[in-house]
Amino acid sequence: MERRDFLVSSIAATALATGTTARGGGAAQSPARQYYELRRYRLRSGPQVKLAHDFFRAALIPALNRLGVTPVGAFDVLIGCDTPSVYLLMPSTSSQALTGLSAALAADAAYREAGKDFLSAPAQSPAYVRMESKLMIAFEGRPHLAIPPATAAREARTFELRTYESPSDRDHVRKVEMFHHGEFDIFVQAGFFPVFYGDTLIGDRLPNLTYMLAFESLDERNRLWNAFGSAAAWKRLSGLERYAFEGIVSNITNIILTPTPYSQI
């Protein structure tokens, strides 16, 4: 399948799950949905970690902001595989803005100067081990990223990044639909602060969706998940035949993240 066709079909799948069309429907148009690029930089313990953080803080994030990509989240892995790693979350209303970042950054002299130590790192001492990326589109029912109130106050906050893989496109569509038919509200009622919900357009382990939740601490996270799991609304929703007729989620990956001091989320 051509990349353009895949993008269109993936966006349409999310629209089907919400009962709308990709262009919006009815008398009122749906709000423009954001796109998210989620990057993971796998690092090696030692000088590489400081080099990467200095680059993200002083070069990459300021350059992204100049390009209109804001706010940018930067997170260290607290619990998860491949530590040390840094995740960057980059939102935009334009998929072209995200897919064209490499060319736009290459044309930014201030970025090249501020990031020269990272960008010119030699092969025998590279700036990072590997960088992986995925492109997502926001769910129709949650079209924009939300910043936790604790971010502005620079208060303690922890994030959970969850990815749900489905065994088929049909099951994936139903899982997206499930969020729109009650799961959003159950998270909020349990006390979570949802940051974003994204349907993966380009990435590995397709089809899948990824979302991020914020909370104060790991202790609060455990309490909130207990509240979510015991909620009568969740038991009703997850017990519906449309969602319980088979395992519509085949694998769940969850990673606990802490924001860096320069994170904008």
Please indicate, yes or no, if residue 264 is contained in any of the structural domains: no
| pLDDT tier at 18, thresholds 50, 70, 90 | low
Question: How much is the pLDDT for 13?
Answer: 54
**For residue 169, pLDDT beyond 70:** yes
Mean of all residue pLDDT scores within the chain: 91
Rounded CA-CA distance 58/65 in Å is 12
Q: Which domain holds residue 205?
A: 3-13+33-259
Identify the pLDDT of residue 25: 36
Please name the residue that has the structure tokens 């969740």.
234
In this prediction, residues 109-113 reach a mean pLDDT of: 98
Buried-exposed string 124-147: b where 16+ CB fall within 10 A, e elsewhere: eeebbeeeebbbbbbbbbbbebee
Examine residue 26 and state whether it is found in any structural domain, yes or no: no
pLDDT confidence of residue 152:
87
Let me know if residue 212 belongs to a domain.
yes
The answer, yes or no, to whether the previous bond of 47 is cis (omega within 30 of 0) is: no
Q: Is residue 19 part of a domain?
A: no
pLDDT digits (tens, 9 = 90+) for 175-202: 999 999 999 999 999 999 999 999 999 9
SS3 per residue for the chain: CCHHHHHHHHHHHHHHHHCCCCCCCCCCCCCCCCEEEEEEEECCCCHHHHHHHHHHHHHHHHHHHHCCCCCCEEEEEEECCCCCEEEEEEEECCHHHHHCHHHHHHCCHHHHHHCHHHHCCCCCCCCCCEEEEEEEEECCCCCCCCCCHHHHCCCCCEEEEEEEECCCHHHHHHHHHHHHHHHHHHHHHHCCEEEEEEEEEECCCCCEEEEEEEECCHHHHHHHHHHHHHCHHHHHHHHCHHHHCCCCCCEEEEEEEEECCCCCC
Question: What is the pLDDT averaged over residues 62-87?
Answer: 96
pLDDT at 57: 98
The whole-number pLDDT of residue 15 equals 54
Q: At what angle do helices 218-230 and 232-239 cross, to 10 degrees?
A: 60
Considering the domain boundaries, does residue 69 fall inside one? yes
Tokens read off for 128: 């990072």
User: Is residue 132 in a domain?
Assistant: yes
User: Can you give the pLDDT at residue 14?
Assistant: 55
Domain total for the chain?
1
**Residue 24: inside a domain:** no
| pTM recorded for the entire structure | 0.89
Strands 193-202, 73-79: parallel, antiparallel or unpaired by DSSP? unpaired
Mean pLDDT of the 95-110 span: 98
* 141 neighbors 55 (Cβ within 8 angstroms): no
Q: Judge whether residue 82 has pLDDT over 90.
A: no
Rg (CA), the chain: 19
Whether 265 is covered by a domain: the verdict is no
CATH code (residue 48): 3.30.70.100
**Alpha-carbon gap, residue 15 to 24, rounded angstroms:** 8
pLDDT digits (tens, 9 = 90+) for 222-263: 999 999 999 999 999 999 999 999 999 999 999 999 999 999
Q: 29-42 pLDDT, tens per residue?
A: 567 999 999 999 99
- Residue 166 — pLDDT band, cuts 50, 70, 90? very high
